[in-house]
Structure 1
Amino acid sequence: MEATFVNPDTKSSGSKVALAGKIISALCVLFLLFDALGKVFKESHHMEGSTALGWPADQVQSIGIALLISTIIYVIPRTAILGAILITGYLGGAIAIMVRVGQPLYFAAIFGVLVWAGLYLRDEKLRELIPFKK
């Protein structure tokens, strides 16, 4: 029979990392849901903003549905990585549009980093796959 000792600091720091990731992810998800649902339900501010960026008004709802599906996939733990990839594609399109119309693109870029940071911190398998230190 072997005794195994668990360092309580390691266990609590791991849970703190995961908690930080969940908080970052939750904030990202709230914003993404706000944006997606505004587009899906054709809220006037979302429609005005999207058409000002050059999106055809009849396509804004489809874009919102794509973002909503991507966000739902991101929330489900088993499919979170696929969701992050889809959201990254969505944000890549947002960056391209911002460059085309001459608007600042830093928000979409930083938001993409936050989506992945939240997932990285809350998903131990992803941290093992992409270690920043050994």
Structure 2
Amino acid sequence: MWTGRILSGFAVVFLLGDGVFKFLQTPEAVKGTVELGYPVSVLVGLGITELICLAVYLLPRTSVLGAILWTGYLGGAIATHVRVGNPLFSHVLFPVYLAAFLWLGLWLREPRLRALVPLRNKP
């Protein structure tokens, strides 16, 4: 259970910072958004979306829905990095690493998810 909370915590801390930075339109968030080919006007909406997805993920009753929402959002991030030709391991796959932390952390701390998605079949 604690391992799951720690894994989830790493992703949550990063995503919380990212959502807040986008919502507040910090210079770093503005620069990154423009470099990815998006207008600055999308920042607040992206920040709100990230914070809502995070809240849904953090509530135990809706955590699986939150992980599903994050999977979709992070899939868009992967597509964006591929579109602009960013490096594979440091940029394109970074959302995959975050999704792995979110899902593995949730799987370790949520017995209902382990029952639904077992790592091995019981004979």
With structure 1 as the length reference, what TM-score do the two structures score? Answer: 0.85
Q: What is the count of residue pairs matched by the alignment?
A: 117
2:72 is aligned to: 89
| Amino acid aligned to 1:121 | L
SS for the counterpart of 1:132 is coil
Alpha-carbon distance in 1 for matches of 2:95, 2:36: 14
For residues 53-64 of structure 1, what are the structure 2 equivalents within 5 Å? 53-64=36-47
2:107 is aligned to: 120
Kindly name which structure, 1 or 2, has the bigger radius of gyration based on alpha carbons. 1
| Amino acid aligned to 1:23 | I
Alpha-carbon distance in 2 for matches of 1:28, 1:46: 18
Structure 1, unmatched stretches of 5+, are 1-17
In the TM superposition, what is the alpha-carbon distance from 1:60 to its structure 2 partner? 1.2
1:15 is aligned to: none
For residues 97-116 of structure 1, what are the structure 2 equivalents within 5 Å? 97-103=80-86, 104=88, 105-116=92-103
In the alignment, is the contact (CA less than 8 A) between 2:19 and 2:48 conserved in 1? Answer: yes
Alpha-carbon distance in 2 for matches of 1:86, 1:121: 19
2:62 is aligned to: 79
| Amino acid aligned to 1:82 | L
Supply the RMSD in Å over aligned alpha carbons: 0.8
**Greater RCO structure (CA 8 Å; 6+ sep):** 2
In the TM superposition, what is the alpha-carbon distance from 1:27 to its structure 2 partner? 1.2
Alpha-carbon distance in 2 for matches of 1:78, 1:51: 36
% identical equivalent positions? 43
| Amino acid aligned to 2:14 | F
For residues 38-77 of structure 1, what are the structure 2 equivalents within 5 Å? 38-77=21-60
Alpha-carbon distance in 2 for matches of 1:102, 1:108: 15
Offset from partner CA, 1:92-130 (integer Å, 9 cap, x none):
000000000001311111111111011001101100111
Alpha-carbon distance in 1 for matches of 2:47, 2:38: 12
